[in-house]
Amino acid sequence: MPPTPLALLSPADQERRRGLRIMKGVALGALLFMAVLFVIAFALQERIPALAYVRAAAEGGMVGALADWFAVTALFRHPLGIPIPHTAIIPRRKDEIGRTLGEFVETNFLEGSVVRTKLDSAHIAARAGEWLRDPQHAERVGVEAATMAAGILRALSDDEVQELIADLAREHLIAPEWGPALGGWLSRVVDADAHRGAVDLAVDSIAVWLRHNREAFSGLMSRRLPSWVPSIALRLIDDTVYNEAVKFIDAVQADPRHPARLAVDGYLARLADNLQHDPATIRRLEDAKSAVFDSPRVRELAAEAWNTAKVGLLRALDDPDSALRRRIAEALAEIGARLATDAALQRRVDRRVADAAVFLVERYRHDIASIITDTVERWDAAETTEKIELMVGRDLQYIRLNGTIVGALAGLAIFSVAHALLR
């Protein structure tokens, strides 16, 4: 495959390609140098015997250079385009390499103890607290949070939200029977005399109303009497009714055991018992509840409440000077200050973060590692080969250069030993 055009490569890849070409030139230059040296030494070794050592070194250097050139080239392509077995390893076994890499990461990195050890040494809570306690950082996080929340609110469908609210209300509010629960609650209130305050408030409110609304009793009874009754008698009757009402309320206020109070206690106790055990009372309460929640007006009010809340939230989230935005930034800064100074809180947060990370890793480690495998499988074989070669090819050229040098030294050593022993 022809190399990727330079314009399509990133600046980093362009720099890697230039470095790779330079090192290829150096390795090739070393091979050519050994070849020239071999030719000269081979031609003159009869007249200058010492050049036999040079010839042996050059010969070993050429062998080493060619062997390492073949080995390095075989990783990425067929040498000289010849489909020799076990060459072009990376493009031919790309998918297997991806699977092996994924298994390696899953086995050695996505392991609970490894993740926990790393997180325990990272001191995440303290670092996050130090960063977040800075008002500017807290403001930045608040801005991002507000932007995200506003985006979510705008993306929500009003009809779908209203349907969701209706479904949740129907499931958790309307469907369960209210009678037994309300009856049990009311029974406990009555047994604990917790309703006394409400009764006192009602009696006191009636007493205040009576003192300030005497004219409301004018004609209350007199209008129902015959017209021939004298007017003075009519006024006397109305005054008597008012005074008796005031006396009755005063008596109820003064006497904790007044019959009216006991009657209220008895009524509430019976109501609590009926709500728990009387099917007719329970059914009437359920019917009333259904009638209220099924009312179109109630649905309209729910929709208006959601729309009003949504508009208000969006306005507050979009306004940098809103009380909500300021409170978010202040709360984040306070959290940061606590995280930075409270060692016990730091330990709790670090432990919970580590527990969550370990849980996710152990539960989804295979799925996480499969990202590597799936990604490598989707890569084009030729493009993958070029990418890998750009990443490691420059270092591999040093292998060729080292092979030339080591081969020369080995050739020289072998020839020297053989010449010394066989001479």
DSSP per position, 401-417 = HHHHHHHHHHHHHHHHH
User: pLDDT tens digits, residue range 68-126?
Assistant: 999 998 888 888 888 888 888 888 888 888 888 888 888 888 888 888 888 888 889 99
Kindly tell me if the per-residue pLDDT of 298 is higher than 70.
no
The residue with tokens 């949740």 is: 168
Per-residue confidence (pLDDT) for residue 66, from 0 to 100:
93
Mean pLDDT of the chain: 85
pLDDT classification of 296: cutoffs 50, 70, 90 = confident
DSSP 178: S
pLDDT classification of 224: cutoffs 50, 70, 90 = low
Q: Using alpha carbons only, give the angle 125, 127, 131 rounded to the nearest 5 degrees.
A: 115
Per-residue confidence (pLDDT) for residue 64, from 0 to 100:
93
Q: What does the alpha-carbon distance between residue 10 and residue 111 come to, in Å, rounded to a whole number?
A: 34
Kindly tell me if the per-residue pLDDT of 232 is higher than 80.
no
Kindly tell me if the per-residue pLDDT of 233 is higher than 80.
no
Tell me the chain's radius of gyration from C-alpha atoms.
Answer: 46
User: pLDDT tens digits, residue range 354-402?
Assistant: 999 999 988 888 888 888 888 888 878 887 788 888 888 888 889 899 9
Per-residue confidence (pLDDT) for residue 218, from 0 to 100:
67
User: pLDDT tens digits, residue range 252-261?
Assistant: 888 888 898 8
160 vs 37, higher pLDDT: 37
Average pLDDT for residues 210-214, to the nearest whole number?
81
Q: Which residues contact 97 (CB under 8 A, 6 or more apart)?
A: 90, 376
Amino acid at 135: P
